[in-house]
Amino acid sequence: MASSSKDKGKGKELTSTPANMSEKNEGEGDTRRTSDRQLFFNLALVAYECKEKPQGHVFLRVKHFVGSRSKGTDTKIVPPVAPNEAELGAHIGAQDVHIGLWVGMWTPTAANYATKAVGGRPRGDQAPSRENKRQGRSVEQLIQSGEFTIEPHNKAALRVVINVKQRDGRYYVLKNPDENGLCEATTITTEEIFYAPEYRDDTLTNKEKRREKAHERISEAVDTALQRAREKTSRPESYKNVIPVDKLISNVRTVRRLYNESRVEYSVEKLAELLTILKTMDGDMECREVYRTRRADMDEFLDPQTPLTNDMVIRAQNALQVG
């Protein structure tokens, strides 16, 4: 296949047809034991090695997400697998940028392992039910036995991401980077994904359960990241590194108890203790400011029937902020 180098960080320009895009090594793939390899497995239990992805959750900035399906014919430039600075400059809480979570890899031969038709193409000729050594087994079992296939390195392999903000359950491949190194993202199916280790349960022997677990772990990763971003951006500067969250929760529980006890039986001592604790939650607050708080947020965290959450504690702090 003919290819020409582009500017550094933008990838390789492909001038071939999709059938020639793979540029893979000769052979059907090699069967060998894994040591320190970074192996991504698809739902059919075939591996693809990806050394470039850092461990953990990697969020990448994307130029834009496109709804149309990727068939390879519109792939003009394959970006480097290793993320560039522009992609890694993603802030998950930013409102005006597109963010993707890197969850796996795609290759032009990925559909060969599909257990059902993909994009109008027939069922893959290397689907697991046609190779009994993979049928009904788990990634863990295959690795322990050494009986698994590693798909050869493919120069046309693309990174797979999900849209962090839309959360629509669709998966995308990154390709055609612009002059800044940001890629466009077009959709693929779960059958074509080689999943990163972070998003797999390697003990599962059922394909549908592997698919569900991958979606579950991806959703958990996004939820956690979004929650941290919200807490970081919503917390007033004056509260940063002042009181640990566990201490705040303890204080709020005490406030709840004193508040509700004082409602049942009026007690000057309990009210005084209540105000003392509120003062410790905000050193700048004076007693009179208790009555200037936002009623909704205060009622929420004072309600004994409402489970405490970190987000609720932060809102309670905001309600006690001197205005």
260: domain range?
237-319
Q: Are residues 155 and 256 in the same domain?
A: no
Q: Are residues 18 and 81 in the same domain?
A: yes
Q: Are residues 122 and 241 in the same domain?
A: no
Residues in contact with 104: Cβ distance below 8 Å, sequence separation at least 6, in sequence order: 40, 159, 160, 171, 193, 194, 195, 196, 199
Please state the pTM of the whole predicted model: 0.61
**Which amino acid makes up residue 103?**
V
pLDDT digits (tens, 9 = 90+) for 118-156: 555 455 555 555 445 677 889 999 999 888 889 999 999
Closest CA to 254 of 284, 291, 279: 279
pLDDT digits (tens, 9 = 90+) for 59-106: 999 999 987 554 444 668 999 999 999 999 877 777 778 999 999 999
Residues in contact with 138: Cβ distance below 8 Å, sequence separation at least 6, in sequence order: 45, 202, 203, 204, 205
Q: Are residues 296 and 151 in the same domain?
A: no
pLDDT digits (tens, 9 = 90+) for 279-320: 666 553 443 344 444 556 656 666 666 676 777 767 666 665
Q: Are residues 79 and 54 in the same domain?
A: yes
Calculate the CA dihedral of residues 95, 223, 174, 205 and round it to 10 degrees.
-170
Pairwise CA distance, residues 312 & 315, whole Å: 5
Q: Are residues 288 and 217 in the same domain?
A: no
Tokens of 148: 């698994």
Q: Are residues 224 and 264 in the same domain?
A: no
